[in-house]
């Protein structure tokens, strides 16, 4: 689904998703449906092919996100990133091996006639998962099949392949862990509390009490009126170019 100009999707004067300028959400063949929690900010020229995207998501200009199953809440992706880049396969004999693969490839089917027994089995592309509270800098490449844990920081220009442990700080090509955001006790508390699951009211409490982070966690765990975050989800359907509000009954909001 292509959005060709700056647009702010609203419900009853409440901003849901801000699109800075032209962007593409979903794909008619690869990923027909994309579900975004709101609010979200999408930069100019970005491509979003992620099945589920959490609330308070932000992506910079000209970033491409493909082959992604999930992006968590409060995650920021910088500009000119390539999430879902294809890895190089090392078990092939020819650089343009696509013409020798099994499967429907109508554009090359008439060029080369090969015995089915000699064709190479196509390898299924592996999806990416990105956790909550992740910061990804500009010009980062994340190769297919990677898993980035909660709270990670990926420094600009990094190339990620494989799994990144929660709250790691990684840098370089290939990516290497250069540190952790917090010490092990705080990381354990972070993973226990999962603050991104709480309402904005509880998060305001965190902002007002930032002197002793461990004390904050203890107090949050003991809050009597803890409230879970209630997500509002929009579904972008590229097959019919419709945007619906997900719920007990899907409500059609926009027809692109």
Task: Give Cβ neighbours of residue 127 (< 8 Å, ≥ 6 apart).
Answer: 67, 68, 69, 144, 145
Kind and range of the H or E run holding 185: helix 184-193
| Catalytic annotation present for 90 | yes
Kind and range of the H or E run holding 23: strand 23-25
Q: Which of 29, 90, 111, 228 is catalytic?
A: 90
Instruction: Answer yes or no: are the C-beta atoms of 57 and 40 closer than 8 Å.
Output: yes
| Region label for 157, one of left (φ > 0), alpha (ψ between -120 and 50) or beta (otherwise) | left
d(CA 230, CA 246): 12
Q: Catalytic site residues? A: 90
């Amino acid at each position: 689904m292509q959005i060709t100009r700056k647009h702010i999707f609203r419900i009853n004067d409440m901003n849901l998703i801000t699109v800075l300028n032209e962007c593409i959400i979903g794909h008619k063949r690869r990923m027909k449906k994309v579900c975004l929690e709101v609010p979200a900010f999408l930069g100019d020229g970005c491509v979003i092919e992620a099945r589920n995207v959490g609330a308070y998501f932000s992506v910079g200009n000209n970033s491409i996100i493909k082959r992604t199953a999930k992006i968590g809440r409060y995650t920021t992706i910088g500009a000119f990133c390539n999430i879902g880049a294809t890895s190089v396969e090392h078990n092939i004999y020819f650089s343009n091996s696509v013409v020798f693969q099994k499967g429907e490839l109508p554009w090359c089917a008439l060029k080369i006639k090969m015995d089915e027994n000699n064709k190479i089995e196509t390898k299924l592309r592996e999806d990416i998962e990105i956790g909550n509270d992740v910061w990804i800098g500009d010009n980062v490449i994340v190769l297919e099949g990677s898993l980035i844990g909660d709270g990670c920081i990926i420094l600009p220009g990094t190339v990620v392949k494989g799994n990144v442990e929660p709250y790691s700080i990684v840098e370089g090509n290939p990516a290497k862990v250069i540190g952790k955001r917090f010490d092990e006790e705080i990381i354990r508390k972070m993973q226990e509390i999962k603050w991104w699951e709480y309402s904005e009211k509880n998060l305001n409490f965190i902002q007002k009490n930032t002197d002793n982070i461990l004390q904050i966690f203890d107090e949050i765990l003991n809050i009597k009126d803890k409230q879970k975050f209630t997500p509002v989800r929009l579904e972008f359907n590229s097959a019919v170019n419709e945007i619906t509000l997900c719920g007990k009954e899907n409500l059609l909001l926009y027809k692109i």
